[in-house]
Amino acid sequence: MELKAIKLPPSQRFVATRRAVRQTFGDADDLSAWFGVMMRTHSFPARIRHNPPVSGTIVASLSVSSDRHGFLRFYPIARSAYSDDATAQFAEELLPRLKSWFLQQRAKPETAIRGGTEELLVEWRGGKHHVHEFRYR
């Protein structure tokens, strides 16, 4: 697993720690985990005409490309908006869910995800995590 991270100002945090990601995804050789690297906020692909209805803050995304490589991205969020309890909940509940989804995508026949991208988004809204699944062709 490739893991890259940027340094954040004290007023921001990521929803997961690098340690928790290593513990959950450490055996996934075909996964890149990026903490704020390349993009500090999530953006939908340009080929999408209308952005899906997401009203909160996207804090994490996991995508699987047609070549079956996974990209796990974490986006910064204000510390005042995201508590330590939420971080613990993310590690205990959502990281295993993300890994399970990733393994399900990898288990699909090669023709099932050909020419597209599957993506799972984690949104923080109203003090709760909301998970959305998308397919881009």
Can you give the pLDDT at residue 47?
Answer: 60
Centroid of chain to Cα 108: 20
Domains: count for the chain = 1
Q: How far apart are CA 18 and CA 104, in angstroms?
A: 23
Q: Which of 64, 71, 66, 137 is nearest to 105 (CA)?
A: 64
- Residue 110, domain extent: 2-136
**% helix, strand, coil for the chain, step of 5:** 30, 30, 40
Segment 103-116, tens digit of pLDDT: 998 888 766 655 56
pTM for the full predicted model:
0.86
Band (102; pLDDT cuts 50, 70, 90): very high
